Amino acid sequence: MIRIRRAAGALALATASLALTAWVPAPVEIDAVFVDRVPEGYQKSKEPPAACAVNVVEVADLRRAKDTIGVVAGRSVKAPADTTAWLTSIMGGLNARGLAVVSDPARAQGANDITVRVGLKSVWLTAVSTNKAANVVLHIRAELAGRPPIDADYRGSLTNVNWASTKDELKNLTNAAFAEALNAIAPDLRRLCETPLQAPG
């Protein structure tokens, strides 16, 4: 019964405050430039760079509703208008994970070039009580001559306390979720690079 009374109070307060202040949080737009959160392990790693170059030849936004990536505490979070630039920038995060990335569909295919096609299946932010959560799913199709291709979804997610739903908070959360996905993609691309060439037929 106490909870019901609290809820009734909150409802009355909500209606009154909205009606009186007409306060509506302004939407924020995430920048198209990916700011990486490189995991500590990669920074300290003495691992040599992979012998293959990663050529991102195609990026595609596969989402249905591309405009909004979430609403956190009433604030609408907009995706960058240029999702191609955004995804290209995100894939550039593989550089910090020991892979040399180029984004040049016209580049002549080298024997050690991994050709990568990226699809953004999902990116969304939400509030979980007093927290905010970001989830992303990237589909990767990676091919290297003579090796079995990678055709898989990679997920990144992060949850932390929502202090004020500022642009920086929401941007950092989104970037961190993409960084998690990149952390999962990088080792698979390295493995593909290190897979011995399969004998034909």
Partner 1 sequence: MVAHVIAKLMGPRESRLWGIVSMRKALLSGLAAALMVVSMPASAGTPKNILLETARPVPDAREVHVYVGQEEIAAEINPSQVSMVTGGGLLGALIDIQIQAERAKKAEAAIQPIRTALQGFDVDALAEASARSAIEKMPWFQPGEMTFSRDTSASGRIAVLDAARTSQVALITFVYDVSPDFSAIRVLMAVEFAPRDTPQGKSATWRLTNGIVYRQSVTSVVQLVRPATDINYNAGVWAENGGARARRALTLAFAKVAELAPRATLITQADAKAMNSKPHKAVVVAGFAGRQQDSDDGGTLLFNGGYVHIQTLEEQA
Among 55, 89, 115, 162, binds partner 1 (CB under 8 A): 162
161 binds partner 1 (CB under 8 A): yes
Q: What is the DSSP string of the chain?
A: -HHHHHHHHHHHHHHHHHHHH---PPPEE--SS------HHHHH--PPPPSSEEEEEEEEE--SS-SEEEEETTEEEEPPS-HHHHHHHHHGGGGGGT-EEE--TTS---TTEEEEEEEEEEEEEEEETTEEEEEEEEEEEEE-TTSPPEEEEEEEEEEEE-SS--HHHHHHHHHHHHHHHHHHHHHHHHHHHHSPPPPP-
The interface region with partner 1, picked from 42-50, 102-110, 121-129, 142-150 by CB under 8 A, is 121-129
Nearer to partner 1, 73 or 197 (CB): 73
Site for partner 1 in 37-56 (CB under 8 A): none
109 binds partner 1 (CB under 8 A): no
Among 84, 88, 95, 122, binds partner 1 (CB under 8 A): 122
What are the residues binding partner 1 (CB under 8 A)?
Answer: 2-8, 10-15, 17-19, 22-27, 63-65, 67-76, 121-124, 126-133, 135, 137, 153, 155, 157, 159-165
